[in-house]
Structure 1
C-alpha cells in the first residue's frame, strides 16, 4: 500500500487529501482518495501519478466527514474520474454509497474497516487497516492530551473500540501523520476521557449541592 498526501504543500486552506494505491498497482487494487479537500491543484498531481496501466486514476473517493475543507472538490472529482463515492452523511451530493459503520472496503491493496466516530461531527468516520495498523481519522479527535471536554456516549464507545486495535500509524485530516507510539497515545486519550467524565460528574454534583444549600 502506498499513501500520498496530495495537499501537503497546498497554498490554500484545505484538508489533507490522501491518494492510496496498491504497492504494485494491479488491476484488483482500488485507487482511492481519502477526502477530496478544496484545492483543485490535486488534479494535476493525480494526473501525473503512476496508478496502474489500464486503470482509472481514481476508482473511489471516501469522505471522513462532510465539512467543506474535506468535501468541496467532490463534484469536480466525480466529473473528472467518475469514482464510486462513499460518505456517512446523506446531505452531500455526488455520494453513491452511504456508510453506516462496520463495512469493509478495499483501499489500495488492503482491506479497511469503517468505524463511525460521531465526535467532531455526527457523520465522522475512521478507516482502519488491521494488516498495516493504519488508521485514517479525518478530524476525529483520537488524540486527547488533557481532560476537561465533554464527550457523548457514542463517541466514547467508538474510542474504546479503536483502543482495542493495534494502531501503528495515524493519518489526520490536518497536519503530519503520527508514525510511532500510536497505541500509547490512544490509551492516554481513553484515560483523559475517563477523567473528563469524572470532572463533569463532580461539577454536576457540586451544582446541585449549591442549589440545595441556597
Structure 2
C-alpha cells in the first residue's frame, strides 16, 4: 500500500521508462492502480558492452508489455539470457512463463513453484550472466519469498515491493511478517551504510537517489505505525478493521483492505513480543 508522503531523494512525477543507471533501464508495465502506483517496473540489467541481459520482474500477463520488454532488449543489440523474480505477486511474476516462451530464458526465483529451469535463487547467490554481477539479498516481510538484487557496479539495489519509489508498502499477512520486514529494511540499510549503495530501483514508482534516507524513512514510519496500533489496542480496539479505521484514517479508504493486512501483521508482532 502507499500513502502520499514523499520519500527522501524521490524525484517528482511518475516513472518514465528508460535508463536509470549505467546498467539498468526500466520498462513500465501498463497496470497502474492504487496498489501498483504508475505500474510495475520491469528492470533490464546488463553490462554496457555485453550481449546478454537479465530481466527482473517481467510483470503482469500483458502480451504488449512483454513484447515491448523483448523489443527494448533487442534494440540494444542484446538478448534476454535470464529472468529473475523479486517475488511471486502477479503484478511482478504472472507474465514470467509467457516471457520465458518469448525469450527462451530460464526463470529463477526463491519460490520453487515460480522457477522455470534447473536453478533457483538462494541466499548468498551471485548472478554473473553476461559478466553482470547481481548479489541476491533476502528481504522477506512483504512476502515470504521477497528478494532484492544488489548491483554493486552501479551502487544500486533492485527492491521489488520491499521499498517503493513513492509511499510505503504493505506487509501482506499472513505470508508477510513484520519482524522479517524490519530485519529486511535493516539489511538494506547496511548495504547503504557499509557497501555504498546510493540508489534504489523499486518495483513501483520513481528511482530513489538517497537509499539510506528512504530506508530510514521506512523504519521510522513502521515504528510510528506500530506504536499507534499498540495504543489503539490498549484503548480497547480489538479487530484489525477497528484498528485500521482509527490508525489509518489518513489513508485513502480504497487502501484500507491492504492496510488491514499490515495491521494483522502488526498485531501478530505485538503478540509475539508480549506487548499486547
Per the normalisation by structure 2, the TM-score is: 0.61
After superposition, give the CA deviation of every residue in 1:121-178 in whole Å (9 maximum; x if it has no partner). 21111111233221111111467968xx896212111111111112322112122212
Distance 2:165 2:227 in 1: 19
Instruction: Report whether the alignment pairs 1:5 with 2:5.
Output: no
Distance 1:174 1:106 in 2: 25
Aligned length: 196
Unpaired segments ≥5 residues, structure 2: 1-21, 33-38, 237-276
CA RMSD of aligned residues (A): 2.9
Higher RCO, Cα 8 Å, sep 6+: 2
User: How far apart are residue 71 of structure 1 and its match?
Assistant: 1.4
2:111 to 78, 84, 89: 89
Distance 2:165 2:40 in 1: 17
Instruction: Specify the alignment match of 1:136 in structure 2.
Output: 158
Instruction: Specify the alignment match of 1:210 in structure 2.
Output: none
Instruction: Specify the alignment match of 1:188 in structure 2.
Output: 217
Distance 2:25 2:68 in 1: 14
Distance of aligned partners of 1:200 and 1:95 in 2 relative to their CA distance in 1, 3 Å threshold: farther
Distance 1:19 1:173 in 2: 12
Per the normalisation by structure 1, the TM-score is: 0.76
Instruction: Specify the alignment match of 1:99 in structure 2.
Output: 121
Larger fraction in helix: 2
User: How far apart are residue 197 of structure 1 and its match?
Assistant: 4.0
Instruction: Report whether the alignment pairs 1:40 with 2:63.
Output: yes
Distance of aligned partners of 1:5 and 1:107 in 2 relative to their CA distance in 1, 3 Å threshold: farther
Give the 5 Å matches for 1:61-100. 61-92=83-114, 94=116, 96-100=118-122
